[in-house]
């Protein structure tokens, strides 16, 4: 290897670039890696390449090398076979997901941390990425208001869905603003106040009373002439009620995002045939949305992580995995029992790390004898 200093001549610059770009010994090596060997900044290497006058034969050879190198990069050569298989599995099961959401899913559920660009290149080589048309720009994202805790604010809205028989049914949904957790999502044949009240009561029975409820000015909620039974129920429950003005869908943007997911999944699946089939389908989609699908608005966590108050423990454990050299360490059990938060992590055949409320069980005297002994017996 020819090493050069800052005062090197034109020929020395040309020699070092030829060695990098034309020699088979360094084929596939990244500029940063090569710059560390030859002691030249990699940006300087690239700048030299544009300024040096190459012979015509050398230029053609460089182009051929560049094409071969580009193909290998697009094909995801830096990903292992197992990683490529995982990407294909997740992409096949979730055809509407892009590289970022797949990256978040693999990191949240599998503790496999991959660069988004590598996932994108591999998906592009497999024909799984839709190319954006020239001149088309992605809409900017603006961070909006968010309630500080679960059930502090809940959004409620309806959307219509057509069955294969052209019959229209309505999807009534309540969604927690803080966590994006779908409390209830159910199809009804007609959008009446009685149906809306029944679904609201179902959400209260399952998860408790919310502090504030946000809806639009639909006739199933409010009336300009009188105080409705829906508003009377909210008064009895001591729930603050906010009805947003017309043509202001941004007030319920988080719920509109759920509706967008429903429409995307329906386009992939095709129209539903019967109302009872629609109920089973929406229940399955709701579970995947709450417990499996990473949400970009909450940093790649799933809505259940936030709703049940486990997001801090999971983020801390993921950060611990990121810092550790040993990537075999995996989260494999996280739960909340009452007010206590339990995280069990580690390799299955090694000693497990057991944390209660963020502290090791050994430091928690009330649980040392009960939980600690059960975990040790389970290992044996």
The pair phi, psi for residue 138, each rounded to 5°, is -80, 140
- In sequence order, the 6+-apart residues with CB closer than 8 A to the CB of 362 are 368, 372
Cα 21 to Cα 23: distance, rounded to the nearest angstrom: 6
Both 167 and 207 in one domain: the answer is: yes
User: Residue 301 in contact with residue 310, Cβ under 8 Å?
Assistant: no
Task: Judge whether 259 lies within some domain.
Answer: yes
Contact of 290 with 185, CB cutoff 8 Å:
no
Could you tell me if 66 and 85 lie in one domain?
no
Pull the structure tokens for residue 192: 């009446």
Helix, strand, coil percentages (3-state) for the chain, rounded to 5, are: 50, 15, 35
240 forms beta bridges with 212
Cβ 271 vs Cβ 162: under 8 Å: yes
Does residue 258 fall inside a structural domain? Answer: yes
* Phi, psi values for residue 114, rounded to 5°: -125, 150
pLDDT score for 315: 84
> Does any domain span residue 5?
no
Helix extents (H) in 75-190:
81-93, 99-105, 116-125
Structural domain boundaries enclosing 110: 81-125
pLDDT of residue 80: 85
Are residues 329 and 347 in contact, defined by beta-carbon separation less than 8 angstroms? yes
Instruction: Examine the domain organization and report whether 210 and 253 are in the same domain.
Output: yes
Same-domain status, 162 and 244: yes
315 in the same domain as 266: no
Cβ neighbours around 150 below 10 Å, total: 21
The predicted pLDDT at position 238 comes to 95
Please indicate, yes or no, whether residues 69 and 86 belong to a single structural domain of this protein. no
Q: How far apart are CA 86 and CA 99, in angstroms?
A: 12
Q: What CATH number is attached to the domain comprising 225?
A: 3.30.420.10
**What's the CA gap between 256 and 358, in Å, rounded?**
35
Residues 192 and 253 in one domain: yes
Helix ranges, the chain (H): 10-22, 31-38, 42-51, 56-74, 81-93, 99-105, 116-125, 193-207, 229-236, 253-269, 275-291, 303-307, 311-323, 365-368, 370-379
One domain, residues 231 and 314: no
Q: What is the pLDDT of residue 305?
A: 92
- Predicted model pTM: 0.69
Whether 325 is in a domain gets the answer yes
pLDDT at residue number 47: 67
Beta bridge partners of 176: 154
Q: Is residue 135 part of a domain?
A: no
- Residue 213: inside a domain: yes
**Domain termination site, one of 236, 271, 298:** 298
Q: In the sheet where 331-337 sits, what is the strand order?
A: 331-337, 340-345, 353-356, 359-360
Claim to verify: residue 196 and residue 164 sit in the same structural domain? yes
How many domains does the structure of the chain reveal? 4
Beta bridge partners of 337: 340
**Is there a single domain that holds both residue 281 and residue 323?**
no
- Each of the 380 residues of the chain gets a pLDDT tens digit; together they read 445 455 667 667 667 766 666 555 555 566 667 677 666 776 776 666 655 555 555 555 655 555 444 444 444 557 888 888 999 999 998 888 889 899 988 888 887 888 888 888 888 888 888 766 555 555 554 556 789 999 999 999 999 999 999 899 999 999 999 999 999 999 999 999 999 999 999 999 999 999 999 998 888 999 888 899 999 999 999 999 998 865 555 578 889 889 999 999 999 888 899 989 999 999 999 999 999 999 988 888 999 999 998 888 888 878 777 776 455 556 667 777 777 777 777 765 566 777 777 777 765 555 445 544 444 444 44
* Burial profile 203-216: b = 16 or more Cβ within 10 angstroms, e = fewer: bbeebeebebbbbb
Tell me how long the chain is.
380
Say if 220 falls within a structural domain: yes
199 and 280 part of one domain: yes
Is 112 a domain residue?
yes
User: What CA–CA distance (Å, rounded) separates 31 from 34?
Assistant: 5
Q: Please tell me whether residues 202 and 226 are part of one structural domain.
A: yes
Return the pLDDT at 73. Answer: 44
- CA–CA separation, 103 and 165 (whole Å): 39
- CB contact at 8 A, 329 and 345: yes
- Which spans in 106-252 are helix H? 116-125, 193-207, 229-236
């Amino acid at each position: 290897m020819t090493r050069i200093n800052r005062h090197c001549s034109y020929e020395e610059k040309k020699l070092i670039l030829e060695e990098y770009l034309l020699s088979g010994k360094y084929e596939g090596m990244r500029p940063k890696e090569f710059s560390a060997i030859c002691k030249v900044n990699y940006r300087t290497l690239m700048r030299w390449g544009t300024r040096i006058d190459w012979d015509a034969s050398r230029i053609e050879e460089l182009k051929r090398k560049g094409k071969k190198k580009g193909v290998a990069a697009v094909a995801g050569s830096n990903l292992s076979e197992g990683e490529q298989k995982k990407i294909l599995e997740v992409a096949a099961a979730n055809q509407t997901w892009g590289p970022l959401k797949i990256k978040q899913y693999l990191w949240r559920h599998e503790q496999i941390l991959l660069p988004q660009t590598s996932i994108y290149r591999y998906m592009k080589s497999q024909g799984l990425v839709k190319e954006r048309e020239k001149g088309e720009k992605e809409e900017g994202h603006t961070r909006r208001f968010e309630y500080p805790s679960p059930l502090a604010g809940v959004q409620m809205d309806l959307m219509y869905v057509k069955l294969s028989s052209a019959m229209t049914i309505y999807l009534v949904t309540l969604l927690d603003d803080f966590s994006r957790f779908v409390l209830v999502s159910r199809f009804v044949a007609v959008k009446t106040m009685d149906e809306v009240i029944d679904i609201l009561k179902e959400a209260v029975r399952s998860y408790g009373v919310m502090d504030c409820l946000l809806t639009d000015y639909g006739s199933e909620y409010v009336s300009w002439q009188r105080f409705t039974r829906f508003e009377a129920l909210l008064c009895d429950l001591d729930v603050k009620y906010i009805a947003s003005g017309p043509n202001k869908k941004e007030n319920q943007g988080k719920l509109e995002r759920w509706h967008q997911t429903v429409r995307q999944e329906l386009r992939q699946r095709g129209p539903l045939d019967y109302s009872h089939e629609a109920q089973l389908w929406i229940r399955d989609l709701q579970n995947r949305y709450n417990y499996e699908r990473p949400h970009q608005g909450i940093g790649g966590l799933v809505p259940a992580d936030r709703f049940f108050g486990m997001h801090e423990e999971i983020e801390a454990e993921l950060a611990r995995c990121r810092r550790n050299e040993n990537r075999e360490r995996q989260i494999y059990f996280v739960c909340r029992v009452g007010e206590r938060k339990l995280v069990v992590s580690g390799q299955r055949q090694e000693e497990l790390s057991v944390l209660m409320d963020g502290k090791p069980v050994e430091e928690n005297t009330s649980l040392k004898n009960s939980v600690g002994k059960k975990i040790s017996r389970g290992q044996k």
